[in-house]
Structure 1
Amino acid sequence: GRGCPVPGPGRPAAVSPPPGSGRTGGGAQYRLGSLLGRGGFGSVFAATRLSDGAPVAIKRVPRNRVRHWGELVSDAPLEIVLLAKVSTGFPGVVQLLEWLVLPNDIVMVLERPERCQDLQHFIRARRFLPEEEARGLFRQVLEAVRHCTSCGVLHRDIKPENILVDLATGQAKLIDFGCGTYLQDTVYTRFAGTRSYSPPEWTHFGWYYGRPATIWSLGILLHQMVCGEHPFRRDRSLLQLTGSFCFLCPECKDLIRRCLSMLDSVERPSLEELLCDPWIAFCAACVAAQGSWDGNTQPLCWS
């Protein structure tokens, strides 16, 4: 096998991982730490780069679990091709630093903030996020998704577990492109991602468009941020919450409901419309007023 370094933060990425000097191992260059997560496609470990002590994440995927290989590089899994496309130094998307092909595994070396937490645990520690805090993080996610779209990449698995929060800076980063694919304007007839985030058009008709499906998952994400729970039961009826949801401002409620439009996917707002939404646009003034990030900020009590 061969390894292929790809551009790190601040350097432009090619359409596919650029060629590099071949090497079949990287264990001697990194000190492996604790297990960060394990899924159907592989495992992610905390690690340290020995050359400079920088924290990184190492994702190992068994070769026999790679479902899709990149069209532009014969021995690069599609996940690596997609990561290379979005690894342009944009702060809201995890940067692919290097990748290796081992006899039995594909290994990805990814950036990792020194103090970070995935958004799922970040929310659970606070039960839910006050609108002011949720607004800033959600806007960052929107900008990350817009960046991916501009690079021709569809993530397809947007959820709290796949968003990393840098506790030192408040920067949100979109991670895990294992379910991603190339963005297309035509329908998709194969679903990849988390079923509880799949749009109703997929459930009922077996097809979906990439952009409206993304807005659907973003609506679920925002609800989880401000209410601390998934908005749907199994019958997909929107919960009529008597708790935290009723304390949301009308603009936030309206935004969630529009993202979760079930009757017609074209009724959902576009990414650009979301970024111009009054509730989201208010974020810029909030950031200017708040100043530096406090990772220990506690939610307001609305009960």
Structure 2
Amino acid sequence: MCVPNEYVFLKKVQHIDGCVRMLDFSEEPSNNKWTIVLEDLEAAGYVNLARLINCSFQLNDVVISWILRSVVKILTEIHAVGVLHCDIKPDNIFVDFKRSLVKLIDFNFSAATTFTDHNDIPPCTPDYAPPEVLVNRNPWTVAGEVWSLGCTAFVMLCRRFPFSNPWMSASMNPAYPPCKSDLASHSCRSLLTYKPKCTVTTGEAVLSPKAKDFLLFCLTRSPLQRPTLSALSQHPFLKNSDKVIDIPDIDEVLRSPAILVS
């Protein structure tokens, strides 16, 4: 029997506070089954990020930037021990607003940072997968995680995916909502040396200049030109907030049924 992928990589990150705890693990050779027991994050006061996005609850830029900054920190820590998550999306992010904590779950798609086998590409969630993995079938890299984080940020800010067809991400730019800088001049200095042309849609929430620049930064089509996690952590959008103390009416959100974005 092969040991489950999730067990292999979860075991490597158990010392990292931002990763879900594995409480127990057992095998049933006769049934060819494995059982992994994980901590119950909802019972511990966490709420699933996808649940928040799919209800009427509005996350502001300060909260969004804090969540993203927390995920960047966790990714930096798991990459340091040789693990790529390979499935960053709202469904796999849990947030405890009262204690200002964020945790990642679901390491089933994870891979080693040294993974280079082009003939054995891990599965992925298409709407969050980078074009080099989804379309070109190249192995996951740290740059791919940055793309997934950008898609997650896009969904939080815009309440939709950046691409109506994710397989077009290799040849098209995302359809961005209007930016405040499109309506008035601003002094936000971009960290990009080159900004791709982007399609602007109407009838949506207006992005702040810093938020739009962050999305452009993450969703750079070429993985070689995509920012590192270290560079992302210095982006002005991620410096919007300190710890989030609490969000009003969060208990009301917790009573709502969950509809996950995946």
Whether these two folds match at TM > 0.5 is yes
Larger RCO, structure (CA 8 Å, separation 6 or more): 2
The question of 1:83 aligning with 2:14 is answered: no
- More strand per residue: 1
Q: Which residue number corresponds to residue 19 of structure 2? A: 93
8 Å contact kept, 2:155–2:161:
yes
The question of 1:273 aligning with 2:231 is answered: yes
**Shift in Å at residue 268 of structure 1?**
0.9
Matches within 5 A, 1:190-229: 190-229=121-160
Of the structure 1 ranges 139-148 and 182-191, higher mean CA displacement relative to structure 2 is found in 182-191
Rg comparison, structure with higher value: 1
* Partner AA of 1:77 in structure 2: P
Gaps of 5+ in 2: 176-199, 253-262
The question of 1:119 aligning with 2:49 is answered: yes
**Shift in Å at residue 266 of structure 1?**
1.2
3-state SS, counterpart of residue 173 of structure 1 = strand
**Shift in Å at residue 185 of structure 1?**
6.9
Which string of whole-angstrom CA distances, capped at 9 and with x for unpartnered residues, describes residues 219-254 of structure 1?
000011111111111133411232445x22111101
3-state SS, counterpart of residue 224 of structure 2 = helix
8 Å contact kept, 2:133–2:139:
yes
Residue among 123, 135, 149 paired with 2:79: 149
The question of 1:107 aligning with 2:35 is answered: yes
Q: Which residue number corresponds to residue 207 of structure 2? A: 248
TM-score by length of structure 1 reads 0.65
**Shift in Å at residue 124 of structure 1?**
1.4
Of the structure 1 ranges 273-282 and 152-161, higher mean CA displacement relative to structure 2 is found in 273-282
Count, aligned residues: 217
- Report the Cα distance in structure 1 between the residues aligned to 2:106 and 2:64, rounded to whole angstroms: 21
**Shift in Å at residue 108 of structure 1?**
1.0
8 Å contact kept, 2:115–2:139:
no
Percent identical residues: 29
3-state SS, counterpart of residue 36 of structure 2 = strand
Which string of whole-angstrom CA distances, capped at 9 and with x for unpartnered residues, describes residues 16-65 of structure 1?
xxxxxxxxxxxxxxxxxxxxxxxxxxxxxxxxxxxxxxxxxxxxxxx7xx
CA RMSD of aligned residues (A): 2.3
- Report the Cα distance in structure 1 between the residues aligned to 2:98 and 2:232, rounded to whole angstroms: 27
* Partner AA of 1:271 in structure 2: L
Which string of whole-angstrom CA distances, capped at 9 and with x for unpartnered residues, describes residues 128-152 of structure 1?
5210111111111111111110111
8 Å contact kept, 1:129–1:227:
no
Residue among 294, 298, 302 paired with 2:247: 294
- Report the Cα distance in structure 1 between the residues aligned to 2:94 and 2:227, rounded to whole angstroms: 25
**Shift in Å at residue 122 of structure 1?**
1.4
- Report the Cα distance in structure 2 between the residues aligned to 1:254 and 1:85, rounded to whole angstroms: 34
Q: Which residue number corresponds to residue 282 of structure 1? A: 240
Which string of whole-angstrom CA distances, capped at 9 and with x for unpartnered residues, describes residues 52-94 of structure 1?
xxxxxxxxxxx7xxxxx4xxxxxx3232121011000x33111
- Report the Cα distance in structure 1 between the residues aligned to 2:57 and 2:201, rounded to whole angstroms: 15
Gaps of 5+ in 1: 1-62, 64-68, 70-75, 299-303
8 Å contact kept, 1:197–1:220:
yes
3-state SS, counterpart of residue 249 of structure 2 = coil
Q: Which residue number corresponds to residue 13 of structure 1? A: none
- Report the Cα distance in structure 1 between the residues aligned to 2:85 and 2:127, rounded to whole angstroms: 16
8 Å contact kept, 1:153–1:183:
yes
**Shift in Å at residue 187 of structure 1?**
6.7
